[in-house]
Amino acid sequence: MNFNIVSLPGDGIGPEVSAAVPVILRKIGELFGHEFQLNEHLIGGAAIDSCGQALPSETLQACKNADAVFLAAIGGPKWDDGDIRPEQGLLKLRSELEVFANIRPLTVYETLKPFSPLKPEILEGTDFIVVRELTGGIYFGKKNREANFASDECRYSINEVQRIARVGFELAKQRNRKLTSVDKANVLESSKLWREVVTRIGEQEYPEVELHHQLVDSCAMKLIQTPSEFDVVLTENMFGDILSDEASVLAGSMGLLASSSVGSRYGLFEPIHGSAPDIAGQGIANPYATILSIAMMLRWLKLSTEADSLEQAVSASIENGVLTVDLKPYSQVTTQQVIQTVADNLTKIVGSIDSSRSARNQPLVKPVEQSPQVACAGEA
Please give the positions annotated as active site. 139, 184, 217, 241, 245
Relative to beta strand 258-262, strand 369-374 is unpaired
Relative to beta strand 127-133, strand 232-235 is parallel
Residue 87 site contact among Mn ion, ligand IPM, none (CB < 5 to 8 Å, cut-off depends on kind): ligand IPM
3-state secondary structure of 230: coil
3-state secondary structure of 276: coil
Site for ligand IPM in 80-99 (CB under 6 A): 87, 90
Beta strands in the chain (DSSP E): 2-10, 35-41, 68-73, 101-107, 127-133, 143-145, 150-152, 178-183, 210-215, 232-235, 258-262, 267-271, 369-374
Residue 49 site contact among ligand IPM, Mn ion, none (CB < 5 to 8 Å, cut-off depends on kind): none
Cα(141)–Cα(237) distance, rounded to whole angstroms? Answer: 11
Residue 51 site contact among Mn ion, ligand IPM, none (CB < 5 to 8 Å, cut-off depends on kind): none
Nearer to ligand IPM, 44 or 168 (CB): 44
Cα(326)–Cα(324) distance, rounded to whole angstroms? Answer: 6
CB neighbours of residue 248 within 10 Å? 22
- 30, 183, 231, 241: which one contacts ligand IPM (CB under 6 A)? 241
Nearer to ligand IPM, 33 or 141 (CB): 141
From residue 310, alpha-carbon distances to 17, 152, 213, 225 in Å are 16, 41, 35, 32
Nearer to ligand IPM, 152 or 210 (CB): 152
Residue 236 engages Mn ion in binding (rule: CB under 5 A):
no
Contact map string, positions 191 to 230, toward Mn ion, x by CB under 5 A: ----------------------------------------
Nearer to ligand IPM, 36 or 140 (CB): 140
With b for 16 or more beta-carbon neighbours within 10 A and e for fewer, the 202-221 pattern comes to beeebeebebebbbbeebbe
Nearer to ligand IPM, 58 or 241 (CB): 241
Q: Which amino acid is at 261?
A: S
Task: Kindly state the smallest distance separating residue 286's Cβ from ligand IPM, in Å.
Answer: 16
Find the part of the chain contacting Mn ion (CB under 5 A) among 111-119, 225-233, 235-243, 338-346. 235-243
Contact map string, positions 187 to 226, toward ligand IPM, x by CB under 6 A: ----------------------------------------
Nearer to ligand IPM, 48 or 272 (CB): 272
Relative to beta strand 127-133, strand 101-107 is antiparallel
- 236, 241, 311, 326: which one contacts Mn ion (CB under 5 A)? 241
Q: Which of 233, 103, 227, 249 is nearest to 179 (CA)?
A: 233
- 14, 22, 75, 227: which one contacts ligand IPM (CB under 6 A)? 75
Residues binding Mn ion: what is the number (CB under 5 A)? 1
Task: Kindly state the smallest distance separating residue 41's Cβ from ligand IPM, in Å.
Answer: 17
Task: Kindly state the smallest distance separating residue 133's Cβ from ligand IPM, in Å.
Answer: 11
Task: Kindly state the smallest distance separating residue 118's Cβ from ligand IPM, in Å.
Answer: 22
Task: Kindly state the smallest distance separating residue 293's Cβ from Mn ion, in Å.
Answer: 14
Nearer to ligand IPM, 92 or 212 (CB): 92
Cα(185)–Cα(213) distance, rounded to whole angstroms? Answer: 9
Element (H, E) at 58: helix 57-65
3-state secondary structure of 283: coil
Cα(117)–Cα(88) distance, rounded to whole angstroms? Answer: 33
Site for ligand IPM in 272-291 (CB under 6 A): 272
> Radius of gyration (Cα) for the chain, nearest Å?
21
The two most distant CA atoms of the chain are separated, in Å, by: 73
Residue 179 site contact among Mn ion, ligand IPM, none (CB < 5 to 8 Å, cut-off depends on kind): none
Q: Give residues in contact with ligand IPM (CB under 6 A).
A: 75, 87, 90, 241, 272
Q: Give residues in contact with Mn ion (CB under 5 A).
A: 241
